[in-house]
Structure formats: C-alpha cells, structure tokens
Amino acid sequence: MVNWRTVIIGFILAVVLSEFLGFIGLTIGAAFGSNGGNTGQIIGYLLATIYVGYSIDGNYINGAIYGAIIGFIGGMVSLIVTGAIFGTFVATTGSLTVLALESILYGIIGAIGGIIGFIISVYFSRKEEHAV
C-alpha cells in the first residue's frame, strides 16, 4: 500500500529544497566565480529523500523505490520550473535529453537517499529498544 502522505510531503520537500538550495548555491557560486546551483539541488533532493526513507515502513527496498520515484518526478518538475523561471528551458531535443538525464540522476540520488533514510530509521528504532 502506498503511503501517499509521505509521498506528497517528500515531493514538496524535494522541489522546495532543491530550488532553495539551488538558488543559494548559485548565489554563493557567483560570489566565488563557480556554479554551485546543481550541487544545491542535489543536496536538496538527498535531504528530501532521506526524510522519505526515514518515514516509510517496510524495508530498504521500499525506501529506495519511494526515494527514486520522488527524485525522478520531483527532478522533472523542478527542472521545468527552474527553466520557466530563468527562461533556460527550450523545448528542443537537447533540452529534453538534458531533462531526461537529470531526472534519472535525481532518481538515482533519491534511491540512495531513501536507503540512507531507512538505515537511519532502523538505527534509531534499535536505540529506542535498548533504552527501554
């Protein structure tokens, strides 16, 4: 059974954190003469999918699947929103290829984040059992 509440919260977190941290990365990168926007977006997706993996019941495979779904779909939406805001998204084959490749990258990052989140949840649940 799909935990839609966690999926929706994770999706919103992924898009908001990636856009916010991407903007911060661009701002800091501009000050130092580099492009840190992609790094900020990657960190945003990793944090959001760690939350999803932490919140999901089941096993690490569920964390990876939920994280990958949120990373892939959230990445696609985020890239389209960023392109619309900054006017960089042009519906050409090159832009669509970049959109697909970066969405796959965010899906992989999401799967990794989901697994990390699940491992963290298992670690904390074991600590609580020993404390009782």
Q: What is the pLDDT of residues 42-77, one digit of tens each?
A: 888 899 999 999 988 888 899 899 999 998 988 888
Measured CA distances, 28 to 12, 36, 37, 103, 131 (Å): 24, 7, 9, 24, 43
Q: Grade residue 99 by pLDDT with cuts at 50, 70 and 90.
A: confident
% of the chain beyond a pLDDT of 90: 26
For residue 93, the model assigns a pLDDT of 47
- 20 token code pair: 């916010």
Measured CA distances, 118 to 29, 88, 97 (Å): 32, 36, 32
